[in-house]
Amino acid sequence: MDIDRLIKKDEVHRDVYVSEEVFSLEMDRIFGSAWIYVGHDSQIPNPGDYWTTRIGLQSVVMTRGKRDEINIFYNRCPHKGARIAEEGCGHTNGLFRCPYHAWTFNLDGKLRGVPYLDGYQDTSFDLTDPRFSLRKVARVAAYRGFVFASLAEDGAEFEDFLAGVKSSLDNFCDRAPEGTVSVAGGVFRVVQRSNWKIFFENLNDTGHPIATHESSYRAARQYSEEVLDGELPFELHIIDGNGAPPKFWSDLDLHAFDYGHSYMTAIFNAPDDPLSQQYFASLAAKVGEDRAEDILAVNRHNTIIYPSCSPHTSFQQWRVIRPLSVDRTLVEIFTFRLDGAPDELLQRTFTYSNVVNSPSSIVMTDDVHVYAECQKGLSTQGGDWVSQHRNAGQDQPYSGSEGGLIGVGTSELPIRNQFRAWHEYMSEGSGQSVSPEAS
């Protein structure tokens, strides 16, 4: 396939969203090689705990071994192929046992026992041969509890891959008085009838809220005016934000980095209320007031860790993007406890998630709808190219320590940046993309 024909400097061909052939190549060249988010180590606190999820279309199991190490293997029994662990979280007492013929495996995936072993004499079967153990994924790496894996032996080092957005993960955890976070409160799962890249493009797209979310911010404002004399409690404040005027959006900063990553500065702050003060005190008690102020001054909206996840550092949300097919995408939303912070802060994290990320969110439903409309429109012959022109060529190298590029808040920089990495991966490169815009 000629990848180069699909990408121009500020446009992409519709085939990147609708072609089955492109999708299967992505599963191979992007999800088969990039560092993909698997889970958080707090989901498997004890040896024998496991978490079953997907990398691209591959079912994988993340488990904590006897020596506290984290193993990730394909969810496939080497005997007849049955999956050895069900989806979600679970616990096993020291070994995995296939439900089909009871082959057993240690927590590191090594084959331990096979019934009727006598019958295997004089065959090519060998209890110690790795091909009869659970197959491990090629590479596993973690940063501050966030576990990623790559299905390819070769490729970018994890450190290099993460460099641009490492500061977002630091801030995610530094906000906790103990310096660590834990998954809490369950998982929201939302299905979208659209290509996975459409969701990624939306995450830092500030051109859309005022149009897409009109019904919800008007609804919130109507209630506020009719019942509350214009006051906006936390829930309504979140919804109202999408209706901010154009200048508000263009005044934000967008930062873009190698490998398709980016982040956007915050669109609103946590309310200055007794809970925020109580939380600040709990953080300051551990790290000192100055440091606590510095930590909270780093206030970001969505960070994108392309091509698998998006943390929201200031409200402890973590979205994971799992492609299902060329026109179907699963988004999983995790919420985190800041270890050592007051319980009420976690309750506010849940409130934020209930409003913004629940399948019944009155905000997200219009996003999901327009993604599906794009998918339908792009399947027509009404035009081959998709525009990414907004502020193209105007982004500047960022002088701060993180480097990368910076653009005005309404630039399509993050989208163009994702496609630079996409192009690099799809041309069988490492995904690291040099930035033509800076030159």
Partner 1 sequence: MTSVNPQPINSASDISYEMVCHFLYREARLLDQRKFTEWDNLFAEQGMYWIPLIEDQPDPINHLSLAYEDSMMRQVRINRLNHDRAWSQKPRSRTSHMVSAIVIEKICDETNRLVVGSAFQMAEWRSFGLRTFAGLYTHTLVVSDGHLKIGEKRVDLIDSGEAFEPIEVFI
With respect to partner 1, which residue has the nearer C-beta, 101 or 189?
189
Provide, rounded to whole angstroms, the least separation between the CB of residue 358 and partner 1: 6
- 262, interface contact from partner 1, Fe ion, none, CB < 5-8 Å by kind: none
With respect to partner 1, which residue has the nearer C-beta, 163 or 220?
220
With respect to Fe ion, which residue has the nearer C-beta, 161 or 371?
371
The CA distance from 292 to 312, in Å, is 18
With respect to partner 1, which residue has the nearer C-beta, 87 or 384?
87
- 347, interface contact from Fe ion, partner 1, none, CB < 5-8 Å by kind: partner 1
Contacting residues toward partner 1, per CB under 8 A = 185-193, 212, 214-216, 218-220, 222-223, 227, 233, 235-236, 239, 330, 335, 343, 346-347, 350, 353-354, 358-362, 364-366, 368-370, 372-373
- For residues 356, 416, 26 and 52, what is the CA-based torsion angle, rounded to 10 degrees? -30
Two structure tokens written together for 9:
């400097």
Provide, rounded to whole angstroms, the least separation between the CB of residue 190 and Fe ion: 13
Provide, rounded to whole angstroms, the least separation between the CB of residue 185 and partner 1: 4
- 298, interface contact from Fe ion, partner 1, none, CB < 5-8 Å by kind: none
With respect to partner 1, which residue has the nearer C-beta, 211 or 285?
211
Q: Which stretch binds Fe ion (CB under 5 A): 119-127, 171-179, 363-371, 420-428?
A: 363-371
Residue in the block written with tokens 């993007």: 321
- 314, interface contact from Fe ion, partner 1, none, CB < 5-8 Å by kind: none
* Residues 264 and 409 sit within 8 Å (Cβ to Cβ): yes
Residue in the block written with tokens 């993340």: 62
With respect to partner 1, which residue has the nearer C-beta, 319 or 423?
319
Long-range contact list for 160-164, CB < 8 A, 24+ apart? 160/258, 160/432, 161/34, 161/35, 161/259, 161/431, 162/35, 162/305, 163/257, 163/258, 164/255, 164/256, 164/257, 164/258, 164/259, 164/261, 164/402, 164/403, 164/404
How many other C-beta atoms are found inside a 10 Å radius of the C-beta of residue 285?
12
Provide, rounded to whole angstroms, the least separation between the CB of residue 208 and partner 1: 11
367 binds Fe ion (CB under 5 A): yes
With respect to Fe ion, which residue has the nearer C-beta, 168 or 204?
204
Provide, rounded to whole angstroms, the least separation between the CB of residue 212 and Fe ion: 5
- 190, interface contact from Fe ion, partner 1, none, CB < 5-8 Å by kind: partner 1
SS3 143: strand
Q: Which stretch binds Fe ion (CB under 5 A): 46-54, 185-193, 330-338, 365-373?
A: 365-373
Provide, rounded to whole angstroms, the least separation between the CB of residue 140 and partner 1: 26
Q: What is the DSSP string of 79-93?
A: TT---SS-SEEEE-S
Q: Which backbone phi and psi does 146 adopt, to 5 degrees? A: -90, 115
The CA distance from 48 to 106, in Å, is 9
Provide, rounded to whole angstroms, the least separation between the CB of residue 278 and partner 1: 17
Provide, rounded to whole angstroms, the least separation between the CB of residue 228 and Fe ion: 24
With respect to Fe ion, which residue has the nearer C-beta, 26 or 367?
367
Provide, rounded to whole angstroms, the least separation between the CB of residue 236 and Fe ion: 17
- 343, interface contact from Fe ion, partner 1, none, CB < 5-8 Å by kind: partner 1
- 68, interface contact from partner 1, Fe ion, none, CB < 5-8 Å by kind: none
The CA distance from 210 to 320, in Å, is 25
Two structure tokens written together for 270:
């946590």
Residue in the block written with tokens 């406890």: 337
Two structure tokens written together for 36:
């993909």
With respect to Fe ion, which residue has the nearer C-beta, 282 or 357?
357
One-letter-per-residue 3-state SS of 43-72: HCCCCCEEEEEEECCEEEEEEECCCCCEEE
205 binds Fe ion (CB under 5 A): no
Angstrom CA distances, 349 to 88, 216, 330, 339, stand at 22, 20, 22, 13
Provide, rounded to whole angstroms, the least separation between the CB of residue 280 and Fe ion: 30
Q: Which residues bind Fe ion (CB under 5 A)?
A: 367
